């Protein structure tokens, strides 16, 4: 997660781009069933490829709370892309990020109409153009 790298290493980034980033702990779905799939014996019934994502999503929300307060330490320019049809990470995360990045040199938010979760792949040219602007 680029936000965590940035808060843990202040001054090391000249700019950040968030694509469909999950930053708001309250926007994450409350899935009471997920922790059950990390415990014996159920964890052995989860297909191998799914195990890492089950574990990762279980810990994500807990990690977002302490990260939220540290977002104000980011001082470089930030560009945020989010699809308004993202079914994995609520689009409200983009507004939350803008609200929390109070010390960023600038924050640009682009909500992509009809865009899903994979904005960096599906809207590659748009994201690439913004990355190139950061290097100017």
Alpha-carbon distance 28 to 58, whole Å?
A: 10
Q: What structural domains and CATH numbers belong to the chain? A: 2-135 (3.40.50.1820)
Other Cβ atoms less than 10 A from the Cβ of 121: the count is: 10
Alpha-carbon distance 43 to 34, whole Å?
A: 10
22: nearest Cα among 71, 90, 112: 90
Tell me the pLDDT of the chain (136 aa) as tens digits: 799 999 999 999 999 999 999 999 998 766 676 667 777 888 888 888 767 766 666 667 778 999 999 999 999 999 999 999 999 899 999 999 999 999 999 999 999 999 999 999 999 999 999 888 877 7
Alpha-carbon distance 23 to 27, whole Å?
A: 8
Contact between 101 and 67 (Cβ < 8 Å) = no
């Amino acid at each position: 997660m680029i936000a965590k790298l940035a808060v843990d290493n202040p001054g090391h980034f000249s700019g950040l781009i968030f694509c469909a980033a999950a930053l708001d702990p309250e926007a994450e779905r409350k899935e009471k069933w997920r922790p059950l799939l990390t415990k014996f014996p159920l964890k052995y019934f989860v297909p191998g490829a799914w195990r890492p994502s089950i574990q990762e999503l279980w810990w994500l929300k807990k990690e977002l709370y302490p990260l939220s307060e540290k977002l104000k330490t980011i001082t470089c320019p930030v560009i945020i892309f989010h699809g308004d049809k993202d079914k994995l990470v609520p689009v409200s995360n983009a507004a939350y990020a803008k609200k929390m990045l109070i010390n960023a040199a600038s924050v640009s938010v682009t909500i992509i109409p009809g865009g899903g979760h994979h904005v960096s792949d599906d809207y590659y040219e748009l994201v690439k153009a913004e990355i190139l602007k950061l290097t100017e």
